[in-house]
A and B are shown apart, each in its own frame.
Chain A
């Protein structure tokens, strides 16, 4: 089945550091990938929709200069948390759907997430 790989799985870094998270679709191409954020014991909140070859679409309240998204190929999207602070600590999860057509019957598959801890 479709596999989404996310790397790294866990990051601890100092405040002010920028952190890059990679999301790859391993056996399919994904025109669109999605980035979610999840706080402990809470639901997944959509941060942005990543579109291959174009700018990402951010949800209301998400700072695009803080969370830089690059979707340079049909199998890779990256999320960079710039100048991270403790309040950015969270579980970040990406997802992708197989299919480049407007109407896709393929389900979304999720990576295993990246736990980001900013000291």
Chain B
């Protein structure tokens, strides 16, 4: 089955700096890669996703890149703000409706002002 590795487990940056979180996956048939942000005591919230037919996607300060050959994808947050502090999870799955997401172990991002 699918296995998703995520690094780093913790990341501390200064406000305004960029943050990068990286994930690798094992199942070459996976073609959907979302990123979720989880705040304390809440469920994960989708922040951006990418499918295997594109290499990069941007949404304001957030971008995701995908390298299908190497089976890795990354989350880039620019101009970080204290409210970006949270746990971020990457995930992978095949795009079939009944297929569950397999999550990485998470990255705790701390943005200090």
Contacts and interface: CB of A to CB of B under 8 A. Distances in A.
Interface string A19-51: 000000000000110100000011110100101
Contact of B102 (A6, A46, A95, A107): A46
Nearest to B87: A41
A103 B102 CA distance: 17
A44 B103 contact: yes
Interface stretch (B39-47, B60-68, B69-77, B78-86): B39-47
- Chain A's interface size range is 20 to 34
Nearest to B45: A110
Interface string A101-112: 111110111111
Nearest to A108: B101
Contacts of A111: 43
Contact of A107 (B46, B103, B108): B46
B98 A51 contact: yes
Given A41-B108, A97-B97, 8 more contacts: A32-B97, A34-B100, A43-B104, A46-B101, A49-B98, A102-B98, A108-B101, A110-B45
